Amino acid sequence: MKRVVITGAGTINSIGQNVSQTINSFKEGRCGISDLKFKDVERLSIKIGGQIHDFEPDKHFNRQQLSLYDRYTQLTLIAANEAIEESGLIFNGQLAATTGVVLGTAGGGVSTWDDNYRAVYEEGKNRVHPFVVPKLMNNAAASHLSMKYNLKGPTFTVSTACASSNHAMAQAFQIVRSAQSPVMVTGGSESMLCFGGVKAWEGLRVMSKDACRPFSLNRNGMVQGEGAAIFVFEELEHAKRRGANIICEVKGFAMSSDAADIVNPSKQGAARAISNALQDAQVNVEDVGYINAHGTGTAANDKTECSAVADVFGHHADKIMISSTKSMHGHIIGGTGAVELVACILALRDGIIAPTIGYEEQDPECALDVVPNEAREAKVEFAISNAFAFGGLNAVLVLQKV
């Protein structure tokens, strides 16, 4: 099997419109959660989120493109531009023929759905734009990314709720590792912050009205966010031959299904995914220094995840740093694992652990080192990224410093 490295990274989210800004926000523990701004927000009981307020689409895309690109596609293309530019790759010939795109999203074009439902049901219009379907479909972002960069290899979208990005990146990793392609572009994107998108989540009664406080005893729910992160996964020797800057290595992954409940998490399912990912990566539990937690800020998720970590790592669990950056950028649903991979890069490459902000009081059921409120310097050789989705679908990635 081939070794796989990351040679390009890009992101846009509520705490940064590129990787550098996002990393600085992680270092500072800056919160990107604020008052939501969109039509009819006053009708919602949840009025906060990790919204990208200073994003101006018309500065990035022309009128024709805006008629084709839902917001989640726009965010994808901005992040992809940064990642591919950093990689230094130019896609033509055989490289273009074999390079593909695997992206994660849970909702796809939710804003487009919302706008057009309003037009038909509220305003009584009998026609919608002819490109509504290609604009809202879940594979739109992957398709537009492949078309923009002439990527003709395996291209598809993974939609597994909150684990979509990690599942997508795992598939891209496997494609490169198995020598099907020397390069894949991968990550995830989500933009559900519109009236219908938030109203649907309100119904679950798992949302906080004031803040996301993962692992804190007084946590009271998750907070939605929006954003995208895209990475270039490349076969190690291919990257070395062209003198590429290598960010870190992707060592292994695993996936599992709880097969138990549509919303309640399972300690056993999460533990299986973590343990199998370490086995796939051939990494000992004692070698892991950092875990980017799923850490949604709900009562059930956080204690279940901590319990799973304790089961897998045993006595070493007390020595591992585990933080949830959702406390800063919110839960980006299908894009969250991708944005959180930037925090893993920060830990491995720069030796800085992003904090769990908003932490106020220890929960005895989450009694691990959750890196409360302030970033920390630490040498980390191996990091793990957890994603545990509604539906009981779990995906875990293992990364190594280079």
* Annotated active-site residue in 294, 306, 329, 344: 294
238 is catalytic: no
List all residues 6 or more positions away from 122 whose beta carbon is below 8 Å from its beta carbon. none
**Catalytic residue (choose from 194, 329, 331, 366):** 331
**Overall size of the chain counted in residues:** 402
* Cβ count within 10 A of residue 193: 24
The string of DSSP codes covering 52-115 is -TT--GGGTS-HHHHHH--HHHHHHHHHHHHHHHHHT----HHHHHH-EEEEE-SSSSHHHHHH
For 139, the 3-state DSSP assignment is: coil
Residue 335 contacts residue 189 (beta carbons within 8 Å) = yes
Is 331 designated active site?
Answer: yes
Asked if 156 and 137 touch (Cβ cutoff 8 Å), the reply is no
Strands (E), 151-281: 155-158, 183-190, 227-235, 248-257
CB proximity list for 362: less than 8 A, separation 6 or greater? 216, 217
Nearest-angstrom CA–CA distance, 245 and 233: 12
Active site residue 162: yes
- Of 165, 172, 103, the closest CA to residue 389 belongs to 165
Per the CB < 8 A criterion, the answer to whether 293 and 214 are in contact is yes
Whether 33 and 208 have beta carbons less than 8 Å apart is answered as no
CB 328 within 8 A of CB 24: no
Among 162, 212, 344, 366, which one carries the catalytic annotation?
A: 162
Taking the C-alpha atoms of residue 157 and residue 141, their distance in angstroms, rounded to an integer, is: 9
Q: Which residue has the tokens 């039509």?
A: 39
Q: Which residues pair with 288 in a beta bridge?
A: 382
Active site residues: 162, 294, 331
